[in-house]
Structure 1
Amino acid sequence: MFMRRSHDFTFTGWHMAGVVCLFFGTIISVNVYMAYQAVHSWSGLVVENTYVASQQFNGKVEEAKHLAASGLSGTLTVGAGMIRYRMVDAADRPVDADELTVRFKRPVGDHQDFELLLSPVGSGVHEARREVLPGHWIVEVTGLKSGERILHHSKRIAVTGPAS
């Protein structure tokens, strides 16, 4: 025997409108949240002027090749409130620079970025006192001798523990 229930469910246009609103409301909400996070977590600035940067690109590539061929390298040490950089040549002999600059940049955002001139202390070692906050940093080291760049070293580091 077949029994018929007294209240059968009927899917109406109102139900479909609710499903559509919930579906697209979820997608729009997620997109708004992601756009907010993107705008507030990264400066978005890679270069000041893309046209000028494109014109300088080939020159920067040639300079990078020249610097790599020089064989100069270095070791960065960050800790105990001190930033130290030791520069050596290909034969591991110390090299002194007239000026050694380090630039600490956060991978995301630019509000904690800073640049510092290190003082020579001898034997290719340059240092400065500075507290560095924990977290990930991109460090660019630039060395000048007689007004000419002799070193450009870029490295991503992680500083752990309390500010050191």
Structure 2
Amino acid sequence: MQMIRSIFNPKEFTGKHMLFAMLAFFGVIITVNLVMARFAVTTWSGLVVPNTYVASQQFNDKAAESRAIEALGYQVKLTPNAEGLEIDFIDSAGQPALADSMIAELRRPVAEHQDRDIVLVRDSDGIYRGKGQVLEGEWIATVTAIKDGETLYKRGWRFHVNADGSMTQ
């Protein structure tokens, strides 16, 4: 009987209860905003190019250069391993291609602290190899091959390195 009376006669909702509810509500909102602001300030800036206006003025020239390089028909098979990167560089006829220099610019999509360039050297088997561990996670590699001062190949690859060192694209 006592319980039935307490259901029908609830405690009074006072100004103290309202003050506590308002402080709890706005406290949660302010805390979440502060946490999100901290993450926004301390993580990657999102900067892709230093000056977007200058980059936009160079777009057509870079697009024409990319089309000309693509027309040469070179292909690359990129393979990360425990020691670094391996690249099989093939010409338009399907034969191993030669380059004076080959560089892979490795970048993380959302951070800069592990970004680096790997210089690849052609081994006797025709495979270009570069030393430098490629850690687990997402990567973007821009591979550039140059011969006699001319860019034969330049392309970006996005790939994921698994914990076992294997790669998925």
Shift of 1:37: 2.0
Gaps in structure 1 of 5+ consecutive residues: none
* TM-score computed with the length of structure 1 as normaliser: 0.82
Mapped partners of 1:92, 1:35: distance in 2: 52
Percent of residue pairs bearing the same amino acid type: 41
Preserved CA contact (<8 Å) 1:94 1:123: no
Q: What is the aligned residue count? A: 161
Matched, 1:67 2:69: yes
Q: Which residue of 1 aligns with 2:87?
A: 85
Matched, 1:22 2:42: no
* TM-score computed with the length of structure 2 as normaliser: 0.80
SS at match of 1:112: coil
Mapped partners of 1:121, 1:149: distance in 2: 21
Task: Render the CA deviation track for 1:63-103: whole Å, top value 9, x for unaligned.
Answer: 22222222211011111313211111233222111111001
1:6-155 aligned at under 5 Å gives the runs 9-121=11-123, 124-155=126-157
Gaps in structure 2 of 5+ consecutive residues: none
Mapped partners of 1:61, 1:25: distance in 2: 51
SS at match of 2:58: helix
SS at match of 1:61: helix
Mapped partners of 2:10, 2:160: distance in 1: 64
1:148-163 aligned at under 5 Å gives the runs 148-161=150-163
Mapped partners of 1:68, 1:27: distance in 2: 52
Preserved CA contact (<8 Å) 1:139 1:155: yes
